[in-house]
Amino acid sequence: MESWRGRVARMCGLTAALFLTAMMLVTVADVVLRGLANIPIRGTLEIVELMLTCTFFLALPAVFLREEHIVVDIIDGMVGPRRVDWLKRSAEALAVVILSLMAWQGWIAAQDTLLFGDVTSDLAIPKILYWVPVLAGFAGAAVAALVMAVRKGEGE
């Protein structure tokens, strides 16, 4: 039976995969239409930017829940397994603080974007839509890092 962490990570990964697939399809369609009929898709860059934002930030909590970070394990061989576990948990606790700060500062910037009614230049997409996945990703990743920092053991 899959754990709740696995289900949440899979949901985040599938959502990110859907945005990645859509981003690739829009790009391919734009290139094909531009090459064959000289009819580019208007606002492709803005659409792809929004989908890229969704892809990256919505996948971020899954990285923490699956422990799939990029790791440089120079110290691991020099210290015992108990210290490695302590180092991992310390890094996760530090990540909670940093991600929370980033979410807080992002929230402030998103409020300004909403207050001023910022939109993109070509399609007039409200820029607040770019902030939604960023804030969800930071907040979700902070919660995921907290969960991983306080988990009971490696086997869980």
Overall average pLDDT of the 132-141 stretch: 97
- pLDDT above 60 for 154: no
- pLDDT above 60 for 155: no
Measured in whole angstroms, how far is the alpha carbon of residue 128 from the centre of its chain? 16
- pLDDT above 60 for 89: yes
- Tell me the pLDDT tens digit for each residue of 18-54: 999 999 999 999 999 999 999 999 999 999 999 999 9
- pLDDT above 80 for 130: yes
User: Does residue 83 or residue 108 have the better pLDDT?
Assistant: 108
Q: What residue spans of 1-150 are helical by DSSP H?
A: 4-37, 44-66, 81-116, 128-149
Closest CA to 145 of 63, 40, 79, 86: 63
Angle at 47 between CA 41 and CA 48, to 5 degrees: 100
CA distances, 10 to each of 14, 61, 140, 145 (Å): 6, 10, 14, 16
**CA separation for the pair 51, 55 (Å, rounded):** 6
Domain ranges in the chain?
4-149
- pLDDT above 70 for 108: yes
| Per-residue confidence (pLDDT) for residue 156, from 0 to 100 | 45
pLDDT averaged over the chain? 92
| Per-residue confidence (pLDDT) for residue 105, from 0 to 100 | 98
